Amino acid sequence: MSTTTNPPPSPGISSRRPGGKIPPKLPLSVFSAGNAAPLSADPTKVFPNAIVDANVNLQLSEWSEQAGDLIKKPISGVVLALHTQEGQPPLDEERFNALIQSSKVPITAIIAPTHLADRGISKLPSYITSSPSPFAFGVSFAPGSTTPDDIRLILSAGHVVDLDVPWNSQQSESDSEWNALEDFIGKAVTGGSEDSSKPTKAIVISNLLPPPHSLHVPIVKLMKSTVYQKYQEHISSLSFVPNVYIKFLPPNWEDPTPPSPAPFATTSDTTGPSVTSQDAQAKDEWKQRVRIYLGPALDAFGYSRIIFGTSPSPSSTSASNAHDWYTLAREVVAEVGVEQEGVDAIFGKTAQTVYGR
């Protein structure tokens, strides 16, 4: 629908040109629920062969309960994000070890927030650095407090950087924040010079796919807006920076992710009190909204640089259930025409490659 039948591979640095590429303007009918064109695939029959959940917050036991039958599927691992949630006790060695030992699935990697490291790689607690799982650094994009050199230092030391973008890109018609982000990431990767050596580790951006916005804005109005056009343009520009990936996470849209029927539910289960007709209607609207952001991201990054996770980004204030977001995200990916190779990449293979040893 919003992408070609076989999404293109990620663009390489050789295709980069000044100003980035400007994606073609797509007709609104492409994303319309009433579009007469059939879906590219039956979303109920498209599943990844293996799953790596690349964003699981500290509540591993809660995640296991939410994931339910997903754990019975080929879960290859999780990326454990050590972002302490409000009301939780601070992380210490005892609690960290308890988290690791209680995991029912392999831990692919650990994301350590920068406050744990006190802005110094050597100051990261030994109980994290001695863990058998590789660790990444979670950083909030805040120009002035974190510099491109800080990021480049982490990348050069052989660690992935998870970069959370806390601002709402859909609230401003200005290019200034987007330009600041692109400049920051470009300098972190290139060191300010195209001729300098480039780190081999990745920067993984969160809170941009999908970006925050208000559900009160009608979809057609949203797609005609200047902020949406800027989203398309700047997502395209970001994709030209090498070793930059984007996370596909539950969006910060004020409301929780709409519920989906439990895996392998019967017809009565899908129409029972647990999933109401209002829930189904909300899910359909969410899928339309997710599609209009996933389409440009696929066109720009390709399926090989999009990474799925079930916990919202650190700056998000919205709630989400792991099973509900996985189901909705998987269905949207199938509906936009991503074939099996791309589904496997988005939901597992890319995360394993980026975060694994």
Q: Residue 350: what are its φ and ψ, rounded to 5°?
A: -65, -40
**pLDDT attached to residue 115:** 66
Alpha helices of the chain — where are they, by DSSP H? 60-67, 93-102, 114-117, 126-129, 148-156, 176-190, 219-224, 226-238, 267-271, 277-301, 322-335, 340-344, 350-355
pLDDT tens for 289-340 read 999 999 999 999 999 999 999 999 998 988 899 999 999 999 999 999 999 9
Contact 7, 334 (CB under 8 A): no
**pLDDT attached to residue 46:** 85
pLDDT exceeds cutoff 80 at 201? yes
**pLDDT attached to residue 86:** 61
Asked which of 138-147, 169-178, 345-354 is least confident by mean pLDDT, the reply is 169-178
Contact 57, 85 (CB under 8 A): yes
What token pair was written down for 24? 């073609």
Tell me the range of 35-49, 110-124, 218-232, 249-263 where mean pLDDT is highest. 218-232
Give 175-180 contacts, CB < 8 A, sequence gap 24+: 175/230, 175/234, 178/230, 178/234, 178/237, 180/143
pLDDT tens for 136-153 read 999 999 877 788 988 998
pLDDT exceeds cutoff 70 at 2? no
pLDDT exceeds cutoff 90 at 186? yes
Please give the model's pTM, rounded to 2 decimal places.
0.83
pLDDT exceeds cutoff 50 at 6? no
What token pair was written down for 101? 């030992």
Contact 193, 252 (CB under 8 A): no
Contact 307, 247 (CB under 8 A): yes
Nearest to 125 by CA among 63, 299, 49, 115: 115
Please report where in the chains the tokens 């972190």 appear, as a residue: 188
Query: Residue 103: which pLDDT band, with cuts at 50, 70 and 90?
Result: confident
Q: What is the mean pLDDT of the chain?
A: 81
In the chain, % of residues over pLDDT 70: 75
CA pair distance 96, 126, nearest whole angstrom: 11
Give the pLDDT mean for 128-141: 89
End-to-end CA distance of the chain: 36
